[in-house]
Amino acid sequence: MRERADVNEERIQMVDNIVVRSPGAPLPKPLAGLATVLMWAVGIVLWSIAHLIVDPRAGAFAVDTALVLVAVGFALLFVDYTRTAVRAMLFGLVGIALFALVDFADLTVFVYMLRIIVPLFALMMPVNRIANGFRIFA
């Protein structure tokens, strides 16, 4: 009888390893909406004043920074947890740093590559959220 209890206890522990735990506190939807509106507003202002900047590299950096802000703002609408939102913003900072590096170094190929990849990553957030609910072999 004791062996059977040990086997059942071991089986419960194995199943416990498979359980997906919550990744943290949920992100309040009003906060996500406010962050989205603020990022979009700053992005639109940057796009509006980019043509007034005398240095073409700095103007391109303003446009690219606006692109990152708008992409992260869009992605925040589809984030459920605070930790994921912080990670999205950190990736946005990495994107701005990469744009600064390639814009001011005049690496045109990498600028256009980043201009394609940044919105693609933002569009992957709703796709990931929708696809997360599908179970193929379960």
Express each pLDDT in 34-57 by its tens digit. Answer: 999 999 999 999 999 999 999 999
Which residues on adjacent β-strands are paired with residue 81?
26
In this prediction the pTM is 0.79
24 vs 131: CA distance, rounded Å: 21
pLDDT of residue 125: 86
**CA 110, 112, 118, 121: dihedral to nearest 10 degrees?**
-90
Which residues on adjacent β-strands are paired with residue 26?
81
pLDDT greater than 60 at residue 130: yes
pLDDT of residue 9: 53
Kindly tell me the sign of the dihedral angle through the C-alpha atoms of 137, 131, 84, 119.
positive
Residues 94-104 have a mean pLDDT of 96
For the chain, percent of residues with pLDDT exceeding 90: 64
CB 64 within 8 A of CB 111: yes
pLDDT greater than 80 at residue 11: no
Express each pLDDT in 61-87 by its tens digit. Answer: 999 999 999 999 999 999 888 988 999
- Supply the mean pLDDT for the chain: 85
Tokens of residue 78, six digits: 């589809």
Tokens of residue 82, six digits: 């605070």
Residues 114-136 have a mean pLDDT of 84
